[in-house]
Amino acid sequence: MIKIRLDMKKILLSSVLVMSSAVLVAQVTNPLKKLGQAASGVVKNDGASGAGLSTDQIVAGLKEALTLGAQNSTSKLSAADGFLKDAAVKILLPEEIRKVESKMRALGMGKLFDNAVTTMNRAAEDASKKAAPIFLNAIKNMSIQDALGILQGGDLSATNFLKKATTQQLTEAFRPIIDSSLEKVNATKYWTEVFTAYNKFSSTPVNTDLSAYVTEKSLDGIFFYVGEEEQKIRKDPGARVTDILKTVFK
């Protein structure tokens, strides 16, 4: 009888171990299976919704988001006072000048500073009109790998893609427009006067390329608002104004 009882205990213990192992395997396998299904849903290219998004949906949604952000940003900044009246992107004098600006204003040079700042921002507004076509061309040529990287990236991954893809071309397009705009309003004259006055008070004279400075700050302003638009679409359902945006960014 004792032997029979021991055998029964062994059988019961073995059964428990087998059942526990089966449960453990199921617990590990099911999430992996679901993860595999989700991954296959993301990379399939048949346009169906299924468990995930097709590459067609991802690319279309991201292109639409980038297009919307680029158009809104450039339209906003190329308008009258788009830079000048917006504290977030307004182009100010270089930091070296701002350190002594209050002293120079006290000496009656305030109008000189105001003219220089106004003309820089007007030039940026003028140049911004050229940004949209350059953005749209980069968006049109976006690859599937670019799209997947953007989808899996952070809140500014789309903006960073545009920045990397367009900065050189934007700089080349902006520079002559800014040169022309600055010359048109005598900005170079004001700039020379500002620096001449500044250098009288400084032991380390500054020689800054005005056009390069304004071009750099113009691009900073545009990408700032492209980033703002991207974060709206990612975080605010109300900013997803089309079905494809609602699908990709849900």
Query: pLDDT tens for residues 133-191?
Result: 999 999 999 888 888 888 788 889 989 999 999 999 999 999 999 988 888 777 777 77
Q: Based on the domain organization, do 209 and 135 belong to the same domain?
A: yes
- Supply the range of the domain harboring residue 217: 58-248
For residue 131, the number of C-alpha atoms closer than 13 Å in the C-beta half-sphere is 32
The two structure tokens encoding residue 84: 């000048």
The token duo for 237 is: 């359902």
Residue 210 and residue 118 in one domain? yes
**Is there a single domain that holds both residue 242 and residue 129?**
yes
The answer on pLDDT for 45 being more than 60 is no
Specify whether 173 is located in the same domain as 73.
yes
User: In the numeric block, which tokens belong to residue 98?
Assistant: 């701002």
Euclidean distance between CA atoms 43 and 55, whole angstroms: 6
Is the pLDDT higher at 202 or at 126? Answer: 126
Number of domains within the chain:
2
In this structure, is residue 160 part of a structural domain?
yes
Does residue 48 sit within a domain?
no
> Distance between CA atoms of 153 and 145, rounded to whole angstroms?
12
Same domain, yes or no, for 39 and 64? no
Let me know: does 113 contact 107? Beta carbons within 8 Å. no
* Domain assignment present for 133: yes
The answer to the question of residue 49 being in a domain is no
Q: Do 16 and 70 share a structural domain?
A: no
Q: Are residues 1 and 82 in the same domain?
A: no
Is residue 209 in some structural domain? yes
Rounded-to-integer distance, Cα 198 and Cα 88, Å: 26
For the chain, the straight-line distance linking the first and the last C-alpha, in angstroms and rounded, comes to: 66
What is the rounded CA–CA span in Å between residue 127 and residue 122? 9
